[in-house]
Amino acid sequence: MAEWRAEVEACALPVNLAALLDGAAEAPGVAGLWTFMDDGRSSSFAEVADATRRLASGLASIGVGRGSAVVVVVPNRPEFPLTWFALARLGAVMVPVNVRSKARELQYVLEDSDASHLVIDADLLPMFDGVETGLAEFAGDRLVVVGGDGSRGRVFNELLLSEPWVPSVEPGLDDPVSIQYTSGTTGLPKGCVLTHRYWVTIGLVAARMLPEAPRRILSDTPFSYLDPQVELMMAIWSGAELIVASTVSLSRFMDRIREFRIDYTGFWELALQLEESETDRDHELKWVTLYGLDKDLHAELERRFGVIGREVYAMTEIGVTLMAPFFAPELVGSGSVGFPAPFREVRIVDPESTEDVAPGEVGELCVRGPGMLVEYWQRPDANQTSFFGDRWFRTGDLFRCDEDGLHYIVGRVKDMIRRSDENIAAREVEMVLERLDGVFESAVVGVPDKRTGEEVKAYVVLKPGVTPDQVPPTAVFEHCAALLAPFKVPRYLEYIDVLPKTVSEKTAKKELVAQKPDLRIGSFDRVSGTWIGEEIDDAG
């Protein structure tokens, strides 16, 4: 492991993201960079390099320049990565937004990021129209519409007709290139300022973790997330083709693997719940990345699908930080996320004192190294609490490390719910709940679920004199659905007279969740539309 780390860290890095793409486009033997399976559009490395130069000129002509923050709200289609690399050439900053966001969430990012321009898919304009007054300035040259007809803003395809961009000054490795918003424990998302070095480094590490270069990589999560952006970097470093799906589909997961001859992807644990088939090993898939797979299912996954799977620990703020080597079969079923990745140092510390804990003891994982987030955008309080000493970053995750140097996730310090690979800040949901007439206060917690990992449960305290009949579950769910992305909307709701509190008057969530063995009991289930009694049907 140490020798491999040293080899990766010795690799020469390009000066920026554009240089990485251009170098790959000039390499012998490379052809297709990506195929978007739903509309069939494919582009070669050279075509993408040329298109991003032209788009950079088009964006510059409407006022995008070095340091400009550009919000991008585009589904999984080529215009998303084309915009990102065009902005990278200009020294500008991409701010991606989930296409499932609500107007309130889009407004927050537009305002918080100090965005100069908005690039949005034409089908999503109704979401933008729902943004409250004060953002009317995003029109004309400040609004670029993908698939637009010119009736509003600038037409994306027209910007692609510009002459290729020739920079007077190249962006550097340590210049910002994206602000990735991530859910935080304080409620509203925080913007992680990420540099060219971050993306170049994370792509290199992801590409070199495999025993050999992949040929075709499946990417099926929204491009606004970290994963597909990393997979794109991985493809460029490897000279591989990125196969992009518009959405995740468990039922079509293995069909896509076979049809597009995928040899690497992140693996969905839920695939193990599909009925076993004699075609499960009928594919070219070799390697899969795992994220918190039940250790008791690890060997079964490799046996059933004939692949090599290894755990990886990563965060938006710090990139790939811990990984179980693909050349270490003894780690199968261990539950370990392995050793520090290249470019990363880790410590496990006491959360209160930040002093190192003894080997084998549980503490908070802290990380440092080149190519991590620069800062949380305009969050001096979060920056002060998230870093200590010589740029050690506090992950908020509890780990232990054994005598062999293997790391194991124990739990989370942060008040975060993880539902189907989505991070949900409990405080953000609580803030929305408390905007509903009749609600005095609320508490949101995660409920273990076999299919999604965790579901969201809301405890609601009503104002004096207000009854549940006046604020029924349907009203609560409809209110949340209007202001939150679908995956953040609570599934379970329980009315409670008073929330337990700590001496500092904060909600004592540990005490709250300890009140009953199964948090679903006594709740209204949004999915089934019924109240749950003592009998639980886990099949539903």
The C-alpha atoms of residue 270 and residue 452 are separated, in whole angstroms, by: 9
Q: What is the helix (H) or strand (E) element at residue 422, kind and residue range?
A: strand 422-425
Query: Could you tell me how far CA 460 lies from the centroid of its own chain?
Result: 29
Write the class of the CATH domain 249-412: alpha beta
The answer to whether the 249-412 and 416-531 domains have the same CATH topology is no
What letter would DSSP give residue 330?
G
The tens place of each residue's pLDDT in the chain, 540 residues long, gives: 888 999 999 999 999 999 999 999 999 888 899 999 988 999 999 999 999 999 999 999 999 999 999 999 999 999 999 999 999 999 999 999 999 898 988 999 999 999 999 999 999 999 888 887 556 789 899 999 999 999 999 999 999 999 999 999 999 999 999 999 986 545 678 999 999 999 999 999 999 999 999 999 999 999 999 999 999 999 999 999 999 999 988 889 999 999 999 999 998 777 887 889 999 999 999 999 998 888 888 999 999 999 999 999 999 999 999 999 998 899 999 999 999 999 999 999 998 899 999 999 989 999 999 999 999 999 999 999 999 999 999 998 889 999 999 999 887 676 778 888 787 878 889 989 999 999 999 999 999 998 888 999 999 999 999 999 999 999 999 999 999 999 999 999 999 999 998 755 678 888 899 999 999 999 999 999 999 986 666 544
Which fold is adopted by the domain 416-531?
GMP Synthetase; Chain A, domain 3 (3.30.300)
One-letter amino acid of 323 = M
Half-sphere exposure at residue 255, Cβ-oriented, CA atoms within 13 angstroms: 8
> Which amino acid, 160?
L
Distance CA 321, CA 205 (A): 10
Q: Does domain 2-25+40-198 have CATH number 3.40.50.150?
A: no
Give the closest residue to 409 by CA, choosing from 454, 371, 363. 363
Element of type H or E holding 419? strand 416-419
Domain boundaries, the chain: 2-25+40-198, 249-412, 416-531
